[in-house]
Amino acid sequence: MTGRFHGVGVGPGDPELITLKAAGLIAGADVVAYHAGVGKESNARRIAEGLIPDSAIEEQLTYPVTTGTTGHPGGYAGALADFYEESAARLAAHLDAGRDVVLLSEGDPLFYGSYMYMHDRLSERYATEIVPGVPAFTAATAAAAAPLARQTDVLTVLPGTLPEPELARRLADTDAAVVMKLGRTFPAVRRALEAAGRLEHAVYVERASMDGERRLPVAEVDPETVPYFSLVLVTGDSRNGKRSRQRGTATPTAPEPAGPAAELLVVGLGPGPGHWLTPEASEALAGVDHVVGYAPYVDRVPQRPGLTRHASGNTVELERARLALDLARRGERVAVVSGGDAGVFGMATAVFEAAEDPVYQDVPVRVLPGVSAVQAVAARAGAPVGGDFAVMSLSDRLKPWEVVERRLRAVAEADLALAVYNPASRSRTEQIATARRILLEHRKPDTVVVVGRDIGRDGESLTVTTLDGLDPAGVDMRCLLIVGASGTRVSRAGRVWTPRWVKP
């Protein structure tokens, strides 16, 4: 019979915070394993030292590297992958021999712990039990005597290793936060807290529950003194009387404007990459106090001090527009953001529709253009819309499908290249197949089709096929299609282009 594998959390540092169940398993273990850095004592072993029996076999799993520098051919990731495989093999040998193995984990085994890598490799082969432990951030919260989250506060746990702009955005978009993995990342974390407007309520805790425990405001911390065993707590906004984020779609109750309305900007962010954001749009976003939009687009705006973000879902365009207009009517500097170009299936139309209400007659609105998705896909492919072309959305949320079909036939009969937005979604899987069938009634099967997915973002792909060869199952909501005209061709180099001229 094989032994049993136990992942045991030993808590944040104080041996008295080890649970009774964890203590019993450690005391009865055949093998006690723990991770350690090169030339360093295992912190997990130090915490559990008084419980390890003399009869136990100890297995110290020493990391080959603890930074990104290594001579391993696979780099840092390759060195660690080999280490975890070798460590798993060492523990598996004991389990195969019938010995029960207890792998100690600081804090909780399944919370940023090295235990998880052994779990991935061993839990399907051996009977496994996991014993939770007190995580470091709860010990830090107790040490700081600062209630972290209450009532409806949302708590977000973040690694300090995130890119600084991403960290600032996430700090701004949550009520309460824990930032782990400090050390060398502390200066960037501090800047992110300041950019998010959260520095005032951020508390630094070092070595929670251990000897040398220290806590003080983040603003007073010397970056040169920050060890790995430290974290930052940001207490919830309901306690602070302020919300740095605005989620949802409800328009806040606001007093009547005391002065003139401010100009409302509607900004196209482009398809995704920062270098496709126009200088005009970038300058505008740097000068507003509020950003309103669909959450993924709001997330693309860098966080900075004084910026309030109002993010909402995908089907509440008019509510978003009214919120922005209300803020501008009160004299606030506001930008409504939209992916691609705001005037191409974007938020500009929704803003003008909402602005028809006489209450907003004094709010000036200005639209700032952006690179559209059809431009991005066309550029990647070559010049498929170099001649006359049409742009359509297959979504029938705002228009009957009968209208979509009638327009598809008209475009096909006019022999225009066609850019297709919103070709499919989780709830609309048949419409692209129907559109393909309608187009084939008027176009040759070898008509060129370009399928662009996530163009400009990580994992982008571009497929050049034909109308007959197009697989509707391979098209999803992240795609934009360009269906060529009869004259559209593919060059020997694989570039797709449509002539500007049309033969009589």
Residues 197 and 317 in one domain: no
- Whether residue 169 lies inside any domain: the answer is yes
In a domain, 121, yes or no: yes
Inside any domain, residue 252:
no
- 180 and 223 assigned to the same domain: yes
* Residue span of the structural domain in which 181 resides: 138-240
3 state SS of 308: strand
Would residue 107 count as lying in a domain? Answer: yes
User: pLDDT confidence of 197, banded at 50, 70, 90?
Assistant: confident
Q: State the total domains in the chain.
A: 4
pLDDT tens, 382-400? Answer: 999 999 999 999 999 889 9
Last residue within a domain, chosen from 334, 368, 402: 368
Do residue 291 and residue 357 come from a single domain?
yes
> The domain spanning residue 59 has which CATH number?
3.40.1010.10
CA gyration radius for the chain?
29
Closest CA to 480 of 412, 385, 416: 385
Do 427 and 350 have their domain in common? no
- Please check whether residues 378 and 477 belong to one and the same domain: yes
Sole residue written with tokens 């603003």: 219
Q: pTM of this prediction? A: 0.68
Strand 417-421 and strand 448-453: the pairing is unpaired
39 with 78, same domain: the answer is yes
Averaged pLDDT for residues 99-103: 98
**Domain limit, last residue, from 133, 163, 198:** 133
Domain match, 158 and 178 both: yes
DSSP 313-340: -TT-HHHHHHHHHHHHHTT--EEEEESB
- Range with the lowest mean pLDDT among 71-75, 237-241, 328-332? 237-241
More confident residue, 120 or 75: 120
Q: Band of the pLDDT at 243, cuts 50, 70, 90?
A: very low
SS3 463: strand
* Residue 245 counted as domain residue: no
Domain shared by 146 and 121, yes or no: no
Residue 66: closest CA among 212, 225, 228, 231:
228
